[in-house]
Structure 1
Amino acid sequence: MNSLRCVQANLHHAKGASGVLCRRFAKEQLAAAFIHEPWINESKVLGLNAPNEFIQRDVVAVTVEVPTTRGKQEMVVASAYFPGDQGDIPPPEVAALVRYCKAISMP
């Protein structure tokens, strides 16, 4: 059985934590990093070597290839923060991501 090595981390909006994560990602050959509170400047996520598609303050989503019994398959993987003090569940950014995935038939 194949497996994907992943890490989950809260970066506390810190530049240094982003650098540590990038080095760890490369050294440990991780498949995915699920992050919270990325380093942000002027509403842009910084310090991560990732595409900007669906990368926002509270939602980070990327397209990845995963090994399956039918070969490699592309899918969208996301990490999202749900504040809990707002009435929109899921948050509008998450709902937009789900609509996008459905529109392009991407799991």
Structure 2
Amino acid sequence: MACLIAVQLWATFGMSVLIFMAGLATVSCELVEVARLDGAKPGQIWWHVILPAMRPILEFVAVVTTIGVLTTMFGVIYVLTAGGPATATTLPEFLVGWSRAG
């Protein structure tokens, strides 16, 4: 099951990176500069300035990725394992899709 989740996350990785890069571009350079002038170290700038500024982007990516994983997991399971071995990778979504396909 972990391998299936990894495959799905890898499939959505590119879009997530694109959204994160766009979010980083929205972080105010003035805030980062003020933090540097106040003596903040790079880790502190990242933790206390950049991450709070990107919180809406982080939430958006988490929600969109979760929806993507939940709605497209049937295709990944069907192609990679067909629900096996035994029922190890069988999800309710897979059972609904399997009854329609079979």
TM-score grouping bracket, smaller chain normalisation? under 0.3
* Larger fraction in helix: 2
* Larger fraction in strand: 1
- Larger gyration radius, structure 1 or structure 2: 2
TM-score in terms of structure 2 length: 0.23
Q: Which has the higher contact order (CA 8 A, sep 6+)?
A: 2
TM-score in terms of structure 1 length: 0.22
